[in-house]
Structure 1
């Protein structure tokens, strides 16, 4: 499914404000980390599969660079299960 530019931007803003990486007790929102746009684009590519699969595949597909690029981890390894369910809820509105 393809979103128009307005819908994609709306999705990006929702992700930026509601989804965060959790490190210990510290929350870094994806908008601040510069990851909301790559995640929105990756989610868009999988929306036809439903919110659960789109969220799972997108979080696996977005690679997060750590330590100045010395290490790469999929976003799925850095968000809590609660945040994953939050992303699914966001994507429900965009799935066919």
Structure 2
């Protein structure tokens, strides 16, 4: 039958990432206005600091009142699924 289409593999990858995100308290991930928005139950200071260091010129966040979110602007030519993977990895590496 051959290899599955790349689009299917990307959907599976995104689904697995969303499962990991849920474990980390990320309740929703959406893409709008050229950015990925990660809605978080309660971000911790280590996660925000690490994200600020990595995406210092591309990040915005609301950590004062619910819904808490982190938004990272997508660079031209960057795949949103790759950015999603990177951001979730940062959340995971600095989870408490």
**So what's the TM-score if we normalise by structure 1?**
0.32
Q: Which has the higher strand share?
A: 2
**So what's the TM-score if we normalise by structure 2?**
0.32
- Pair member with larger Rg: 2
Q: Which has the higher helix share?
A: 1
